[in-house]
Amino acid sequence: MSNDTAVAETDGRSRPEPPHAAPEGRHWKAVPAGSRWSVSQPGKKCRYRGASKTACGEDAAVVVTRGIRTPIPWNYCAEDALGQYGVWAEDGKVMTWELQDD
Ligand SMILES: [Zn+2]
């Protein structure tokens, strides 16, 4: 689950670094990740599996609802939410970085 980029510890209060430097004429802005994402309920565990056969199992930080007819909540820990989906919990909301024009 590790990669070369410095993945910030997200505890719901700290904001991670943007994924890379913004190109000329643009800048990163933290924006809400969207209505499918919300902060996990206490006690939920991360379901991320990656290449492994077993789920991560860490305490979940954020949850995304998947499925059209049958919405299913998928919880992710802070590390996997940021590493896989670029989202993090902050002040009770789920945020992501968006490139915007200067
Ligand atoms: Zn995880």
Q: 43 C-alpha vs ligand 1 centroid, how far in Å?
A: 13
The whole-model pTM stands at: 0.81
What pLDDT score does 1 carry? 43
What pLDDT score does 89 carry? 95
Rounded-to-integer distance, Cα 87 and Cα 93, Å? 10
Q: Are 18 and 96 in contact (CB under 8 A)?
A: no
Place of tokens 């896989």: 84
Q: 59 C-alpha vs ligand 1 centroid, how far in Å?
A: 8
Q: Kindly state whether residue 20 falls inside one of the protein's structural domains.
A: no
Q: Kindly state whether residue 16 falls inside one of the protein's structural domains.
A: no
Q: 83 C-alpha vs ligand 1 centroid, how far in Å?
A: 9
Over the chain (102 residues), the average pLDDT of each successive run of 10 is 45 76 96 96 95 93 94 95 95 95 96
What pLDDT score does 68 carry? 86
What pLDDT score does 25 carry? 97
Q: Kindly state whether residue 84 falls inside one of the protein's structural domains.
A: yes
Query: Which phi and psi (to 5°) does residue 78 adopt?
Result: -60, -40
Q: Based on the structure, what is the number of domains in the chain?
A: 1
Q: 70 C-alpha vs ligand 1 centroid, how far in Å?
A: 23
Q: Kindly state whether residue 33 falls inside one of the protein's structural domains.
A: no
Its domain, for residue 75, covers 38-101
What pLDDT score does 101 carry? 97
